[in-house]
Amino acid sequence: MGTVTIGVSIAVPEPYGSLLQQLRTGFGDAAAHGIPTHVTLLPPTEVDGSDLSAVEAHLTEVAAVGRPFPMRLSGTGTFRPLSPVVFVRVAEGAEACTWLQQQVRDASGPVPRELQFPYHPHVTVAHGIDEEAMDRALAELADYEADWSCTGFALYEQGPDGVWRKLREYAFGGSVVPPQAGHVERGSLPTR
């Protein structure tokens, strides 16, 4: 079966996902068309194709103990000069994303992955493009806002064409409680 490149992420739902992807393309990021708008839980990771069933079983277990939580994007940030990235900030839900990515990368699981940089949940809107376009992305999305209830995550595989395709979605084991008017729902996370 060979080696495959996988990733695990929280999809940014519509209409936000398509809009941010279009904007990313407009800033000149050629890779944008092949990358669904997302918050990364497991960055691109090579695994043996025969290990995919173990990865899927592990992700099912992670999702089973997860609970829906509010996600809110607000404003922009950058990793420059360390990394050529401009992103939309995760203003609410960062703690839950951090917990989830730790569970996905658990050293006892099938994808124990060390990170190149400390984990910082975000939505990339420009990567590896010229500085002027990066500055434009940073400024144009400075007032960007979006919010939704995160109810799960997905496993993706990168094809030979560089395009990321969803293999499977994983819904959290908890039930979704719609927020009441004027009430912000707080997610609770299980601890081990």
pLDDT, block means (10 residues), the chain with 192 residues: 93 96 95 94 94 94 94 96 93 96 89 85 95 96 97 96 95 60 34 31
Confidence (pLDDT) at 86: 97
Alpha carbon dihedral 104, 105, 107, 108, in 10-degree steps, equals 30
Task: Please give the pLDDT value at position 1.
Answer: 67
Whether the Cβ atoms of residue 179 and residue 71 lie closer than 8 Å to each other = no
> Phi/psi of residue 189, each to 5°?
-115, 135
Within the chain, strands assigned E span 3-11, 38-48, 69-78, 85-92, 122-127, 145-150, 152-158, 164-171
Which pLDDT value is given to residue 58?
A: 95
Q: Which CATH class is domain 3-171?
A: alpha beta
Residue 97: what pLDDT?
97
What 3-state DSSP class applies to 118? coil
pLDDT in the model for residue 142: 97
| Among 1, 9, 2, 13, CA closest to 105 | 9
Each domain of the chain, given as residue ranges in start order, spans 3-171
Q: Which amino acid is at 99?
A: W
What lies within 8 Å, CB to CB, of 168 at 6+ separation is 56, 59, 154, 155
User: Which pLDDT score, from 0 to 100, does residue 174 have?
Assistant: 57
- What does the DSSP 8-state code read for residue 128? S
How far apart (Å, rounded) are the C-alpha atoms in residues 166 and 17? 14
